[in-house]
A and B are shown apart, each in its own frame.
Chain A
Amino acid sequence: MTVAYFSPMPPEASGIADYSALLVPALREHVEVNVVKRGAKRPPRGTDLAVYHIGNNPEVHGWILDALRRTPGLVVLHDFVLHHLVAGVTIGRRDGHGYLDAMEREHGVVGRLIAHGVLDKRLPPLWEARPEEFPLAGEVLALARGLIVHSRYVERRAREAGFGGVIARVPHPAWPVPDVAPAEIPGAPLIGAFGNVNDSKRVPQLLEAFARLRAEHPGARLLLVGATSPGFDLDRRLQRLGLQGDGVVREGFVDEQRLWALMAACDVHVSLRSPTMGETSGTAIRALTLGKPLVVTDVGWFSELPEGVALKVSVGTHEIDDLAASLRLLAERPDARAAMGAAARELATTEHDVHRVAAHQSAAFERVAGGGAVADVVLREVSEAAAGVGIAAGTPEASEIARRLSEVDLGG
Chain B
Amino acid sequence: MRIAVLRPQVPFARGGAEIFTDTLVDELRARGHDADLVSVPFKWYPGARVLTQAFLWRMLDLEEADGERIDVVVGTKFPSYVARHPDKRVWLVHQFRQAYELDGTELGQFGPSPEDRALRRQVQELDRIALGEATRLFATSANVAGRLDRSTGLTAEVLPHPPQPLPYRSAPSEGFVLSASRLDRAKRIDLLLEAAALEPAVDVVVASDGPDRERLETIARERGLDGRVRFEGRVGEERLAELYATCSSVFYAPVDEDFGMGPYEAFLSGKPVITTTDAGGPLDVVHDRATGLVVPPDPAEIGKAAAWLREHAEDAAAFGSNGKAIADEVTWDRAIARLLS
A367 touches B48 (CB 8 A): no
B-contacting residues, A21-67, CB 8 Å: 48-49
A363–B124 CB distance below 8 A: yes
Q: Are B122 and A410 in contact, with the CB atoms below 8 A?
A: yes
A401: which B residues are within 8 A, CB to CB?
59
Asked if A366 and B121 make an inter-chain contact with CB atoms under 8 angstroms apart, the answer reads yes
- The segment from B112-120, B234-242, B317-325 that touches chain A is B112-120
Shortest CB-to-CB span from B154 to chain A, Å, is 15
Residue of B nearest to A2 (CB): B114
Knowing A404-B55, A404-B58, A408-B130 are in contact, say whether A374-B48 is a contact too (CB < 8 A).
yes
For the complex formed, measure the closest distance between the CB of B130 and the CB atoms of chain A, giving whole angstroms. 6
Chain B hits for A408, CB < 8 A: 55, 58, 82, 126, 129-130
Interface string of A392-412 (1 = CB under 8 A from B): 000000001100110111100
A382 and B52 CA atoms in complex are apart in Å by 7
| Chain B residues touching A, majority SS | helix
Whether B51 lies near A367 (C-beta < 8 A) is no
Q: CA A385 – CA B51 in complex, angstroms? A: 14
**B47/A377 in contact, CB under 8 A:** yes
Give 10 CB contacts A-B under 8 Å. Answer: A366-B117, A367-B118, A370-B119, A374-B118, A374-B119, A381-B52, A385-B52, A404-B58, A405-B58, A407-B58
Residues of B within 8 A of A (CB): 47-49, 51-52, 55, 58-59, 82, 84, 112-122, 124-126, 129-130
CB distance from A50 to the nearest CB of B (A): 13
20 further A-B contacts with Cβ under 8 Å, apart from A378-B51, A409-B126, are A1-B117, A366-B114, A366-B121, A367-B118, A367-B122, A367-B125, A368-B118, A369-B117, A371-B118, A371-B121, A378-B52, A381-B48, A381-B49, A385-B52, A401-B59, A404-B58, A405-B55, A407-B58, A409-B125, A410-B51
**Interface residue ranges, A against B (CB under 8 Å):** 1, 48-49, 363, 366-371, 373-374, 377-378, 381-382, 385, 400-401, 404-405, 407-410
In the bound complex, do residue A1 and residue B52 qualify as a contact, i.e. CB atoms below 8 Å apart? no
C-alpha spacing A378/B53, complex, angstroms: 10
CA distance A367 to B114 in the complex (A): 8
The 7 closest A-B pairs by CB, nearest first: A370-B118, A370-B114, A366-B117, A367-B121, A377-B48, A370-B115, A369-B114
Identify the closest chain A residue to B128 (Cβ). Answer: A409
